[in-house]
Amino acid sequence: DGVESVTVEVIGDAGDMEEFTGEYKALRELIRSTRGGEVEVTGKRLEWPEMEAVPDDAVTVELPPDFGKLLALAAPVVDQREARLALRGINLSRDGVTATNGKELLNLPCPLKIPEDMTLPFPLALLTARPEGTGTLYIWRSRNERLFRIVIGGFQWQGKVLPGNFPDWKQVIPADKTLDYQIEIHEPERLITFLKTVPDCPPFHAVELNVVPGGVTVIPNNFPDMELRLEATVIGAQPRAVLALNKYVLLRMLQQGYTKFRAHSDGRIPVIAEGGSGRYLAMPIHILPKHQPEKETSKMEKLENKVVSAPVQTVAPNHELGTNPLDELCNTIDTFRHKLKLALDE
Tell me, yes or no, whether 162 and 177 share the same domain: no
pLDDT of residue 131: 94
Q: Is the pLDDT of residue 42 over 90?
A: no
Q: What is the pTM of this model?
A: 0.78
Burial grade of 126 (CB within 10 A; 0-12, 13-18, 19 or more): buried
Quick: pLDDT tens for 4-20. Answer: 888 888 776 766 666 76
Of 86-90, 201-205, 227-231, 324-328, the poorest mean pLDDT is in 324-328
* The predicted structure's pLDDT at residue 297: 34
User: Distance between CA 282 and CA 25 in Å, rounded?
Assistant: 39
pLDDT tens for each residue of 194-243: 999 999 999 999 999 999 998 999 999 999 999 999 999 999 999 999 99
Q: Which of 166, 200, 227 is the last residue of a domain?
A: 166
Mean pLDDT, range 118-137, rounded to an integer: 95
Residues 183 and 152 in one domain: no
Q: 81 and 192, same structural domain?
A: no
Question: Do 312 and 260 belong to one domain?
Answer: yes
User: Which are the contacts of 240, defined by CB distance < 8 A and separation ≥ 6?
Assistant: 265, 266, 267
Q: What integer best gives the mean pLDDT of the chain? A: 83
Question: Per the structure, how many domains does the chain have?
Answer: 2
Domain span at residue 110 reads: 5-166
Span 139-155, pLDDT tens digits: 999 988 999 999 999 99
Do residues 123 and 70 both lie within one domain? yes
Burial of 330 (0-12, 13-18, 19+ CB in 10 A): middle
Distance CA 226, CA 62 (A): 49
